[in-house]
């Protein structure tokens, strides 16, 4: 909200304009009774929030986690509105969740819970209403169940109701690498804006999962030297550069980087948080939120921060980075590649024609470059931080769309 308010002030939005776009438009809570394998019935709570639909159907993942709450889902849906707007894809923001630890459910229980969630909220979803996707603890299989449940109810084949589906039933090529490729394109643009080249720049990447692991590989392919990587098992450092393809093979084989120091390709760092303070040119936090705060932001030596994760820097850290002149590529821009390829999946489903991975990546690059340039120009125009500029670009687009549509009353 602080990020939003700063950008809204810059744009001189009126109180009415702000009111139109700040709050979620619809929040629904459902109770989901599920027959467990032992014959008992258990109830779960599910949510779907549509934050804004002025620019198109709501878009945003469904999270399965014991800590899901309506407040969290609302906040995440707010972020989605502005992430879609900054990328300029014709979609609004939404998010959903179920309070559940999916590890405690059998395959059958998980399927029944997923189908019940989708059918309870059937009126909210639809290719032209609200299009969910995977998030924490949800995956292509669950998206397939969502799509099947909806299509069965409607007696039609409707793959565009959900994205992140398996390739066999209308998923898109390029989805796995999309977020990391988007990060690469945005980072390249930032580096070029400063008149520099990627080759030879040093990098530290926090998180070695879908986003961080692939980002490390892509940055390495671009000629960067990856000095440190980390995951939940620790951080690993090599001042001469890590052999990232080998690290990837290791992580795939061992389900993470645990014991990676045994390969002698890098040394384990005593404190994994020190990775964030290494002398590198690019720092890519790609793991968790709130990793950079006033406790460590002053010690950051990187010149670029590429936010692969959502919300890795808090507002104190942001202020410090601005003072230090660090080039922050903010999350809503930097990690938008995932939602952009989700949008491409929706487009392909509606066309009934599927693109090659080359076309996906080419179109993704165009979208990311245009988005980056809009934010960068806004930053120059208002002489403000990149994050505020990203929100300003996005808020303006949402606000103009809302005003043009007017109030139906
Ligand atoms: P993931 O589960 O595949 O990977 C997360 C990684 O972070 C794992 O390697 C894990 O070991 C590591 N990790 C966990 N705790 C850590 C710690 N304390 N220190 C260092 N590493 C730690 O998840 P992901 O899909 O890569 O998502 C990572 C972040 O990117 C999240 O914030 C997510 O919301 C955001 N994001 C993901 C996508 C996407 O397409 N996957 C899109 C946009 C944003």
- Torsion 183-185-190-196 (CA) sign: positive
b/e map 317-336, b = 16+ CB within 10 Å: bbebbeeeebbbbbbbbbbb
Give the pLDDT confidence score for residue 258 in this predicted structure.
Answer: 97
Size (the chain), residues: 409
Give the pLDDT confidence score for residue 51 in this predicted structure.
Answer: 98
Are residues 21 and 398 in contact, defined by beta-carbon separation less than 8 angstroms?
yes
Write down the CATH superfamily of domain 173-351+359-409. NAD(P)-binding Rossmann-like Domain (3.40.50.720)
299 belongs to the catalytic site: no
Residue list, ligand 1 pocket, CB within 6 Å: 179, 206-212, 230-232, 256, 272, 286-288, 308-310, 335, 338
What is the whole-number distance in angstroms between the Cα of residue 211 and the centre of ligand 1? 6
Within 95-209, residue ranges assigned H as helices are: 107-120, 140-154, 175-193
Apex CA 223: angle with CA 217 and CA 226, to 5°? 55
Which tens digits make up the pLDDT trace of 223-266? 999 999 999 999 999 999 999 999 999 999 999 999 999 999 99
Which tens digits make up the pLDDT trace of 113-157? 999 999 999 999 999 999 999 999 999 999 999 999 999 999 999
Residue nearest to atom 18 of ligand 1 (CA): 232
Give the pLDDT confidence score for residue 398 in this predicted structure.
Answer: 97
Give the pLDDT confidence score for residue 341 in this predicted structure.
Answer: 98
Give the pLDDT confidence score for residue 409 in this predicted structure.
Answer: 79
Query: Whole-angstrom Cα distance, residue 177 to residue 272?
Result: 25
Select from 214, 212, 269, 208 the least CA-distant residue to 238.
269
Q: Between the CA atoms of 319, 230, 177 and 195, what dihedral angle is there, to the nearest 10 degrees?
A: 50
First to last CA, the chain: 27
Q: Which atom of ligand 1 is nearest to the CA of 233?
A: 11
What is the whole-number distance in angstroms between the Cα of residue 286 and the centre of ligand 1? 6
Within 126-243, residue ranges assigned H as helices are: 140-154, 175-193, 210-221
Domain 21-169 has CATH 3.40.50.10860: yes
Give the pLDDT confidence score for residue 261 in this predicted structure.
Answer: 97
What is the whole-number distance in angstroms between the Cα of residue 351 and the centre of ligand 1? 32
Residue nearest to atom 36 of ligand 1 (CA): 309
What is the whole-number distance in angstroms between the Cα of residue 289 and the centre of ligand 1? 9
Select from 3, 26, 9, 165 the least CA-distant residue to 92.
26
Select from 309, 365, 311 the least CA-distant residue to 188.
365
Domains 21-169 and 173-351+359-409 fall in the same CATH topology: yes
The best mutation among 209, 218, 259 to test binding of ligand 1, ranked by most ligand atoms within 8 Å of the C-beta, falls on 209
Whole-prediction pTM:
0.96
Give the pLDDT confidence score for residue 1 in this predicted structure.
Answer: 79
The domain segmentation of the chain, as residue ranges, is 21-169, 173-351+359-409
The best mutation among 207, 213, 228, 274 to test binding of ligand 1, ranked by most ligand atoms within 8 Å of the C-beta, falls on 207
The single residue of 95, 173, 225, 396 carrying the catalytic annotation is: 95
For residue 50, the surrounding DSSP H or E stretch is: strand 41-52
What is the whole-number distance in angstroms between the Cα of residue 287 and the centre of ligand 1? 4
Query: Whole-angstrom Cα distance, residue 65 to residue 45?
Result: 11
Residue 373: how many other CB atoms lie within 10 Å: 12
Are residues 52 and 20 in contact, defined by beta-carbon separation less than 8 angstroms?
no
Give the pLDDT confidence score for residue 2 in this predicted structure.
Answer: 81
Backbone angles phi, psi at 26, to 5 degrees: -150, 130
Residue nearest to atom 17 of ligand 1 (CA): 232
What SS3 state is found at 35? strand
pLDDT string in tens for the chain (409-residue length): 788 888 999 999 999 899 889 999 999 999 999 999 999 999 999 999 999 999 999 999 999 999 999 999 999 999 999 999 999 999 999 999 999 999 999 999 999 999 999 999 999 999 999 999 999 999 999 999 999 999 999 999 999 999 999 999 999 999 999 999 999 999 999 999 999 999 999 999 999 999 999 999 999 999 999 999 999 999 999 999 999 999 999 999 999 999 999 999 999 999 999 999 999 999 999 999 999 999 999 999 999 999 999 999 999 999 999 999 999 999 999 999 999 999 999 999 999 999 999 999 999 999 999 999 999 999 999 999 999 999 999 999 999 999 999 998 7
């Amino acid at each position: 909200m602080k990020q939003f308010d700063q950008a809204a002030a810059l744009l001189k939005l009126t109180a009415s304009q702000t009111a139109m776009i700040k709050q979620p438009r619809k929040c629904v809570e459902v109770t989901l009774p599920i027959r467990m394998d032992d014959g008992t019935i258990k109830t779960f709570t599910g949510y779907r929030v549509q934050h804004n639909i002025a620019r198109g159907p709501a878009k945003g993942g469904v999270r399965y986690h014991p800590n899901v709450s309506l407040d969290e889902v609302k906040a995440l849906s707010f972020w989605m509105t502005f992430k879609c707007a900054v990328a300029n894809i014709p979609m609004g923001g939404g998010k959903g969740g179920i309070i559940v630890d999916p590890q405690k459910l059998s395959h059958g229980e998980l399927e029944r819970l997923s189908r019940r969630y989708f059918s309870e909220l059937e009126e909210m979803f639809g290719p032209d209403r609200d299009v969910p996707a995977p998030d924490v603890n949800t995956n292509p299989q669950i998206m397939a169940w969502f799509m099947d449940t909806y299509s069965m109810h409607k007696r039609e084949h409707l793959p565009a109701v959900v994205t992140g589906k398996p390739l066999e039933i209308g998923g898109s090529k390029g989805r796995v690498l999309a977020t990391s490729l988007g990060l690469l394109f945005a980072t390249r643009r930032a580096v070029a804006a400063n008149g520099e080249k990627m080759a030879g720049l040093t990098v530290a990447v926090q998180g070695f999962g879908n986003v961080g692991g692939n980002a490390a590989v892509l940055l390495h392919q671009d000629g960067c030297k990856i000095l440190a990587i980390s995951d939940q098992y620790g951080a690993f450092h090599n001042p001469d550069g890590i052999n990232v393809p080998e690290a990837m093979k290791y992580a795939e084989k061992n389900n993470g980087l645990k014991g990676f120091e045994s390969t002698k390709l890098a040394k384990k760092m005593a404190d994994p948080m020190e990775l964030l303070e290494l002398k590198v040119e690019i720092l890519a936090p790609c793991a968790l939120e709130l990793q950079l705060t006033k406790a460590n932001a002053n010690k950051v030596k990187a010149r670029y921060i590429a936010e692969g994760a959502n919300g890795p820097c808090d507002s104190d850290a942001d202020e410090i980075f601005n003072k230090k002149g660090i080039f922050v590529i903010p999350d809503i821009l930097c990690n938008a590649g995932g939602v952009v390829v989700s949008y491409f999946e929706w487009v392909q489903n509606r066309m009934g024609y599927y693109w090659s991975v080359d076309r996906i990546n080419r179109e993704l690059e165009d979208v990311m470059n245009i988005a980056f340039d809009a934010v960068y120009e806004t930053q120059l125009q208002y002489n403000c931080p990149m994050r505020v500029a990203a929100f300003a670009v996005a808020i303006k687009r949402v606000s103009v769309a809302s005003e043009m549509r007017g109030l139906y009353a």
